[in-house]
Amino acid sequence: MVTGMVDIDPDRLRAAFDDYSAIGATDDDGLHRLTLSADDQRVRDEFVSDLEDLGVSVRVDPVGNVFGRREGTDADAAPVLVGSHLDSQPYGGRYDGQLGVLAALETLRALDDHDVETTRPVEIVDWTNEEGSRFKPALMGSGVYAGAHDLDTVLETTDDQGTTVAEALEEIGYRGDEPVGPTERPDSYLELHVEQGPFLEEHGNAVGVVDGILGMAWLEVTITGDSDHAGPTPMHTRSDALVAAADVVTAVRRLSTRLGDDVVTTVGELSVEPDSINVIPSEVTFTVDLRSYDDATVDEGVAAVEAELAAACEREGVDYSLEKIWQIPHTEFSPGVRDAVEDAASEADRSFERMVGGAGHDASYVNDVTDAGMVFVPSVDGKTHNEAEFTEWEDVVAGVEVFANATRRLAERDE
């Protein structure tokens, strides 16, 4: 049984946060640290040096995921894996990803401070290319680890300069030769992350205990009408692709309230041909992003988009095609990991709520391999993926304290 809490050191955590944030810092307190860049190399070097100072053994796999292992007392026990990602969005924030890695690092340091020997090993990880902004797809390192992406295909992926992932890994010295994927199935995985939404702040809670991640479908729609002159062509003879598209964009927005409470719908890309001030649009292409925790609702939403599209195109006398370009079911995290987080939050007397995450995370892929879970900390105004991303320091401390103690509980559990 676990008795007594492990105290973290908030000052040491702050110092580490400031040190890491200086690598790839922007003028406006943000972070520009694209995956496998020179700054990613610098921050990885600092991370590895911090791990070596702790005496943990470091290994790097072929896609550049960095692992550090603190041994437990039972040599046969499966490890608890903890971590997140050190890459950032272009001109992104300092909290997304980095905070999760530093929460895990502070956890290892706090265990050492108090000479805590856990039964299970605790392994820390920095996943390569979570963000997907330089190389696609996102969640690259965890996806390879979980077997969702093929290693060779990923290594040949290029950025917009034509550099491959393999070349970029060689360049920064992080193309490891350890086996890909779990050599042993971890007991569990825990990741701390900023919420990236407004709910914890709105509800005044310190910690989010994450039940899972929304499922999602991506659609690509093309509407084809007739281009003609904007002056001489009477209104009643027009087949305007953009007018039909406008109806669909509005309908997609309204669908969210009709389908269910947690449904979010977005048209994020739209292009118009020929895109000229005095020509009736002949072709419009746009995307739809549709998410819900309920996979059947996502399917229902896709069918509803198609019905709205068919009706709008019929009214305007235009044709359409609709392609589903991606769909992933919702992620349901492990009840056992969730319990460990809730118990740790109760013990630390920190206010918490159960919630569902709207964005993809490395934990989603790791959940395919083992029991995964996440801890969210509040995001001021829900802002993320830009330099204004901010979490109050007292919320960081509360979250990391809960995270460290949940990790310890997992590292002591039996099954």
Shorter beta-carbon distance to Zn ion: residue 286 or 390: 390
- Cβ atoms 328, 341 nearer than 8 A: no
Stretch of 92-100, 166-174, 210-218, 320-328 contacting Zn ion, by CB under 5 A: 92-100
Select 189 or 286, whichever has its Cβ closest to Zn ion.
189
- Of 148 and 270, the one with the shorter C-beta distance to Zn ion is 148
Nearest residue to 61 via CA among 157, 139, 144, 117: 144
> Looking at 75-83, 91-99, 240-248, 308-316, which segment touches Zn ion (CB under 5 A)?
91-99
Residue whose CB is nearest to Zn ion in the complex, by number: 97
- Nearer Cβ to Zn ion (289/343): 289
Contact range with Zn ion by CB under 5 A, out of 89-97, 114-122, 320-328, 338-346: 89-97
Residue 97 binding Zn ion, by CB under 5 A: yes
Minimum distance, C-beta of residue 385 to Zn ion, in the bound complex (Å): 9
389 binds Zn ion (CB under 5 A): no
The full length of the chain comes to: 415
Question: Minimum distance from CB of 317 to Zn ion (Å)?
Answer: 45
Taking each helix axis from N to C terminus, what angle separates 98-113 and 393-412, rounded to the nearest 10 degrees?
A: 60
Total number of residues binding Zn ion (CB under 5 A)? 2
Determine the interface stretch with Zn ion among 93-101, 103-111, 219-227, 405-413 (rule: CB under 5 A).
93-101
- 96 is an interface residue for Zn ion by CB under 5 A: yes
**Complex with Zn ion: residue 61 or 96, whichever CB lies closer:** 96
Report if residue 159 touches Zn ion, rule: CB under 5 A: no
**C-beta of 191 vs 401, nearer to Zn ion:** 191
68 vs 357, beta carbon nearer Zn ion: 357
Stretch that binds Zn ion, among 97-105, 143-151, 242-250, 260-268 (CB under 5 A): 97-105
Which residue, 95 or 320, has its beta carbon nearer to Zn ion? 95
Distance CA 309, CA 312 (A): 5
Residue 79 or 97 with smaller CB distance to Zn ion:
97
Which token pair is 322? 């609709």
CB of 99 vs Zn ion, minimal distance in Å: 9
Stretch that binds Zn ion, among 56-64, 95-103, 107-115, 296-304 (CB under 5 A): 95-103
92 binds Zn ion (CB under 5 A): no
Catalog residues that contact Zn ion under the rule CB under 5 A.
Answer: 96-97
